Chain A
Amino acid sequence: MKALCYNGVGDLRTERVADPTIINPKDAILRVILSSVCGSDLHLLNGYVPTMREGDIIGHEFMGEVIEIGSEVKKLKKGDRVVVCSILGCGECQYCQSTQWSLCDNSNPNAWIPEKAYGDSPAGIFGYSHAFGGYAGSHADFIRVPYADRGCFVIPEGLADEAAVFASDALPTGFMAADLADIQPGNIVAIWGCGGVGQMAIQSAFLLGASRVIAIDREPDRLRMAKDISGAEVLDFSKVDIQEALREMTGGRGPDRCIDCVGMEAVSEGLDYYYDKTKQFVRLESDRPIVLREAILACRKGGTVSIIGVYGGLVDSIPMGAAMNKALTFRMGQQHGQRYIPRLLEHLQKGELNSGFMLTHKMSLDEGMKGYDLFNKKETMRVVFAPQ
């Protein structure tokens, strides 16, 4: 089959590789119909996630058709059109059973790697480095899905592939960000980042009762979508002072809930960007926590900061004093997709959430590198590959 493989920082190649086969009894094989890029892939591609190996197949946000099932797969059958959670959960461990799926004890065969860096291992993720399991990703004609009954969700009839594909990753992630923020009716929510995850967080925040959502980015197209489609008020951080603007827009209190949908590769117009970029470059710091700092400073007293943008290693100069003395609550984590996907598919079907607009470019696998270049330059919301 064809697959898009990592070959080093900034180097992707479409290659011929072997077809996947059933390895374990709970596996299924899918024919990939659509497979999207995600901001997390940029962290891999730009070299911020170690343990990538030349030849790794990337991609984790996808939907497709079940073409083969293992002997212990009970719920799925051949021909099912399914969307798959980007993070793998076994369904049987203590964490999965308490719906903290991204903390699954069993789905990372390389648990020993993160155990050394993090003290314990999180779940495996498709196409997301060997520290997270080394699973072959979805930018391919076919993919093997372990624990298939747990990770695959049948797409309701009438819901288009182009909308359903985002129920794999961007939508449950954005929804979880809003859920973690513990939004109370009437709350004002500030959201940093208007990529796919940010867009879905905006819509979810409204769904969970926010009275106003203020979204922050600097990409004009993304800000326009945040406003026109997702319904937020928007701020361009390249044009205004975010701290001042948020304070004034909220009667001097600050937003009740602050959500970081940017993570470790945040950029800024200020000096702090060069400070972090330099430290990152010489490896004194692995992540640029620009948004995290801003969110802590902006958040109202007693408020909640929800972090869904990914951090991988060490961050520096976190205003802990502000967090402590303003009595903030921090919530964070990789998405527990299996907890949310069934409900989100319903919201999509009823038109209460809108995801299809995020597919701004559809390409073949052969155009993989070109697609990621566009995405890295933020000239597209999400490029989606249609393998066959």
Chain B
Amino acid sequence: MANKKQPVSRVLGMGPIEPDVSGSSRINVDDTERIWSAAGGALLATYGLRRGSFGGLLLATLGGFMVYRGASGYCPMNQALGRNTAEPKAEDRAVDSVEIVKSLTINKPREVVYAYWRQLENLPRFMFHLSEVRQLDNKRSHWVAKLSDGLLAKTLGTVEWDAQILEEVKNERLVWKSLADARIDNAGEVRFIDAPNGQGTEVHAVIKYRPPAGQLGSAIMKLFNPAFEEMIKQDLRRFKQLLETGEITTIDGQPSGRKSEQQSGKKPVSEHAKADEKHESAML
């Protein structure tokens, strides 16, 4: 997808908005990079392990390495190359923004779909990488990302940023942008359109973000973007599941013959299952 010339958002006539060059992309300090390493690494490790093939193992190993690096702030590769990302270099300019596009059709009326999304506090119910979104006023909101439990969270603390809705047409579209100094500079647009023949609502989402500056930034982006893209797509699938069925489809917590999962049948331990517990009380 990344190597196609024209961004898909152009085909849809969407995504005119660009994320600011402020936080993640301007300050090429080791802290920002550590967060990216950790978040991306955790993602890679998850997807890699799920895949369970040789390629998956490779991904998982790479992922594990990135997590280690993120958590420790030490990169043997950088060490070997004799570079230190904490010291900005002349060639470390802001990297182009990266776009992720996902469209799907939800079998519910447009007003219902829009209203659920516009209540930004709802987002973490299906966006599992967010732990909280708080509306500050009608346009501004505060976002808290969920990195993962344990060591990582302890080392890095939380990743938070403010965002602002720039444009809002009720039941039709929302455009937003992160505010200055966000850890992850991002911007996006969501459109809600009636699907033909009463098939419900088409949701078109374009999300753009700026990876950390410099060469390492583009390298990280190349590595992580497929995982981020997959994550956003999963988020939207869960949004659809939640709206259509009132619950999120999952197998987490079911029994298997794998020794590592032996206890899981008794009590759900994973992220998915925990979020599902939340949903039970928050059913539509």
Contacts and interface: CB of A to CB of B under 8 A. Distances in A.
Contacts of A90: 241, 244-245, 249
B262 interface: yes
Contacts of A24: 247-250, 276, 280
Nearest to B242: A106
Q: 9 closest Cβ contacts across the A-B interface?
A: A18-B265, A5-B257, A55-B258, A55-B257, A18-B255, A17-B255, A92-B244, A24-B247, A15-B257
A124 B264 CA distance: 21
A244 B267 CA distance: 61
B253 A23 contact: yes
A133 B249 CA distance: 9
B249 A57 contact: no
Interface of B: 50, 52, 105, 107, 199-200, 230, 233-234, 237, 240-241, 244-259, 261-268, 273, 276, 280, 283
B241 A106 contact: yes
A55 B249 CA distance: 21
B192 to A, nearest CB: 16
Given A23-B252, A90-B244, A134-B251, A57 B237 contact: no
Which of A3, A91, A108, A146 has most B Cβ within 10 Å? A146
Given A93-B107, A94-B199, A54 B250 contact: no
B200 to A, nearest CB: 7
A147 interface: yes
B262 A18 contact: yes
Contacts, number: 119
A56 B255 contact: no
A56 B259 CA distance: 11
Given A71-B280, A112-B230, A56 B265 contact: no
B125 to A, nearest CB: 14
A268 B99 CA distance: 51
A96 to B, nearest CB: 9
B245 A53 contact: no
Contact of B254 (A7, A93, A106, A135): A135
B250 A23 contact: yes
A20 B254 contact: yes
A17 B107 contact: no
A21 interface: yes
B249 A146 contact: yes
Nearest to A146: B249
A356 interface: no
Given A5-B257, A93-B107, A136 B245 contact: no
Contact of B251 (A21, A71, A105, A109): A109
- Identify which of B107, B233, B255, B273 gathers the most chain A CB atoms within 10 Å of its CB: B255
Interface on chain B toward A: helix, strand, loop, or mixed SS?
A: loop
B256 A5 contact: yes
Given A25-B280, A109-B251, A93 B244 contact: yes
Contacts of B276: 23-24
A349 B142 CA distance: 61
A112 B234 contact: yes
Contacts of A13: 257
B48 to A, nearest CB: 14
A136 B255 CA distance: 7
A301 B253 CA distance: 53
A58 to B, nearest CB: 10
Nearest to B198: A94
A144 interface: yes
B108 to A, nearest CB: 9
A93 B246 CA distance: 11
A23 B97 CA distance: 39
A72 interface: yes
Given A72-B247, A133-B251, 8 more contacts: A18-B262, A23-B276, A24-B247, A26-B247, A53-B258, A55-B261, A109-B250, A144-B254
B262 to A, nearest CB: 6
A28 to B, nearest CB: 13
A136 B107 contact: no
